[in-house]
Amino acid sequence: MDLHDRSFQRLIMQLEGLFVALVTPFYKGEVNEEKLRELVRFQVESGSQGIVLCGTTGESPTLSWPEICRIFEVVVQEARGKITIVAGTGTNSTAATIEATHKARDLGADMAMVITPYYNKPTQEGLFLHFQAVAQSVDMPLMIYNVPARTGVNLEPPTVERLSELDTIVALKEASGNLDQISEIIGRCADKIRVFSGDDSLFVPVLSVGGVGVVSVVGNLVPRDLCSLYDDFQKSNVSQVLQYQKKLFPLSRSMFFETNPIPVKTALNILGWEVGKLRLPLGDMSKAQEEKLVKVLKGYGLLDQI
């Protein structure tokens, strides 16, 4: 990829602020394309900088390959270049990841998000070689994704630094929850790779150590507030940022009362979005946890709006 290409440089400049890990809406067990379009329009109208498709929040493990391709296609059509589209293409097979990333590029996605291979538990050298193979095989900007609680392997700072030397690896979604590790990564290679918090509750702390944004679950619910928080941070409105942090923190934490995306889809349905049920093996939220979630939604003021 030509790093001096104007479209590439413009994309890099847009890698900041709120990127929403979009849920996948279902109706009677099938992907609800019209609702998906509605969700995309909501994010565009709310000012979100980007959307991430077919990640954990999008229930990617239960989506078939034709469904994933159709989701990419529908969202690209609906977005019409108004928002950065990041396609989740990572698997625990390097060859399959390369194939999926090629397809995402062909269908018009702006970037691909590639998770560390899960279950295999590769070494740091194996992780480097995996991401290097994808980066060298597909002419497309990549966001690498570290979430050790899900995958069983941690992408360590020296490995990220090595990967940042590859031209097409331009961003990192860091969901280790380890602020020291995130700070070390930013210290090593912030000039070459843009670091996003992978945890809503750490959005402000990650910004404070040099991160550029968040890949968000709670952004499915309150994207405008997250965009306002980021704008205030950019303007050094510290007191306003802290107010948003205090307000958002309980809502962000509630998204993990049970396994993501159970709470966020439950919340969306409570708020009238009608995004449908989850696919097995994920099921309905327990009544006790749903009651706790409702209290948080009320506390935030969201239920006053319906």
Flag whether 144 is in a domain: yes
Cα dist from 59 to 28, 48, 55, 207, 241, whole Å: 16, 21, 6, 27, 31
pLDDT band for position 304 (50/70/90)? confident
| Mean per-residue pLDDT of the chain | 95
Helices (H) and strands (E) in the chain, counts: 13, 10
pLDDT band for position 4 (50/70/90)? low
Per-residue pLDDT tens over the stretch 78-130: 998 899 999 999 999 999 999 999 999 999 999 999 999 999 999 999 999 99
- Residue 151: name the closest of 180, 122, 113, 128 by CA: 122
Residue 26 bridge partners (DSSP): 31
List, by residue number, the catalytic residues.
Answer: 145, 173
Flag whether 108 is in a domain: yes
CATH, residue 49: 3.20.20.70
Flag whether 152 is in a domain: yes
Domain holding 223, by residue range, is 6-235
Per-residue pLDDT tens over the stretch 16-66: 999 999 999 999 999 999 999 999 999 999 999 999 999 999 999 999 999
Cα distance between residue 299 and residue 254, in whole Å:
12
pLDDT at 14: 75
Flag whether 196 is in a domain: yes
Cα distance between residue 138 and residue 112, in whole Å:
10
| Number of structural domains found in the chain | 1
Residue-by-residue DSSP string for 61-110: GG--HHHHHHHHHHHHHHHTTSSEEEEE---S-HHHHHHHHHHHHHTT-S
- Residue 275: name the closest of 285, 267, 283, 286 by CA: 267
The whole-number average pLDDT for the span 260-280 is 97
- Residue 63: name the closest of 32, 24, 99 by CA: 24
Contact, 37 vs 110, CB < 8 A?
no
Flag whether 166 is in a domain: yes
How wide is the angle at C-alpha 34 spanned by C-alphas 30 and 38, nearest 5°? 125
Residue 115 bridge partners (DSSP): 145
Flag whether 297 is in a domain: no
- Residue 244: name the closest of 255, 229, 258, 230 by CA: 229
